[in-house]
Amino acid sequence: MAVPYFRLDLDESEIEAVVKVLRSGWLTTGPECAAFEREFAEAMGGGVHAIAVNSNTSGMHLALEAAGIGPGDEVIVPDLTFTATAEVARYLGAEVVFADVLPDTLCIDPQEVVRSITPRTKAIVPVHFGGLGANLEELQAIAAQHGLVIIEDAAHSFPATAGGKTIGRHGTFATVFSFYANKTITTGEGGMIVTADDSVAQRCRTMRLHGIDRDAFRRFQGDSAGWRYDIVAPGFKYNLTDIAAALGRTQLARALDMRARRAESAAAYRKGLAGLPIELPPDAADGDMHAWHLFPIRLTLDAPIKRQDLETALNTAGIGYSVHYTPLHRMSYWHGRYGLGDNRFPVATSYFERCLSLPLFSAMRPDEVEEVITVIRNAFS
């Protein structure tokens, strides 16, 4: 039985919501986007701003811009992440400083962060890897001591909690979520900036749409000011459409149910793969919640097979998989710019050479999970 790496989890409510927008005559940023922002802020527990954007990448860019990051500054980023986490600093002319990750959670190592700080450091960008919360308490203490801002890359982590708090409610400068097609909830393409700081929220709202000082929707809906607006900064084109927001609202309403089904599949994996020479991803600490966006496994150092053998078995059986991630120091651009070697990142490098991400999505059936388990167990027999 073939098993895809990912399959969309959509029902009629999502389809009807999108069709309703298509029939409304208003497709771009408007009432659906405003409602999505309100509902997402409520899902965070209230007391925060939620600013919808067209991707996590654009949201990260806006957050770093709002923090005043620019040429001559340094931003500390984990080596084990997707390139977007790092590239947004380069958009602004800042330099990226890569830090190794912790061997268990694969989130940024706070002690490596400390060793990476220089007089030019302005920000730390932790990633909640795979949906498991990073150690924000320790990172916040480091940031406070050195006068740094924290901008969380939460692309993997809705609706997770860490340290007893919803990710997005830890009081950092900003937290940015992703709604890409294979994320825990989707708008096709999209993201959300969450912050409790009024000035940060206002800056992000202004800069996401050309630096216009007024809400775009109101300008075309009988606002007494009519067509009048001002450009207060050279902004970007990062707004989310109402089509995407309508999809996001329905996905948001089902988010906890979809997360529960991913957690059930993760638990089945953990039980079915127990006893093999495989290191399994840890669950969240007691009282916290893992988003289970990814299920990354890694062969033990003494495993009798190599990753290539496991890939062959999965390919033969028609089972999808991926690798998250090739460490950024091995990517041509980052290696060429900074000339970093494996010796600087022993944890990320060792993990990469032995890892695979197994299929994990809310529409996954129990028999599909069992098929993946069977193929992997047979690969070791």
In whole angstroms, give the CA distance from residue 360 to residue 369: 8
Question: Among all chains, which residue has been given the structure tokens 């149910």?
Answer: 257
Question: In the structure encoding, which two tokens stand for residue 322, read together?
Answer: 């991926």
DSSP one-letter string for 301-316: TT-SS-HHHHHHHHHH
Cβ pair 68, 253 in contact under 8 A: no
Residue 363: CB atoms within 10 Å? 15
If you count DSSP H runs as helices and E runs as strands, how many of each does the chain have, helices first?
A: 14, 12
Cα–Cα separations (whole angstroms), residue 62 to 128, 250, 258, 305: 19, 26, 29, 45
DSSP one-letter string for 170-236: S--SEEEEE-BTTSSS--BS-EEEEES-HHHHHHHHHHTBTTBSS-HHHHTTT-TTTT---B-S---
Catalytic residue among 20, 183, 237, 306: 183
In whole angstroms, give the CA distance from residue 133 to residue 4: 26
Run of H or E residues at 267: helix 255-272
In whole angstroms, give the CA distance from residue 190 to residue 245: 9
Strands 174-178 and 191-195: antiparallel
Task: Check residue 237 and report its DSSP letter.
Answer: B
Cβ pair 209, 218 in contact under 8 A: no
Q: Which residue in 157, 197, 166 sits closest to 66, CA to CA?
A: 197
Look up 183 and say whether it is catalytic: yes
Catalytic residues: 183
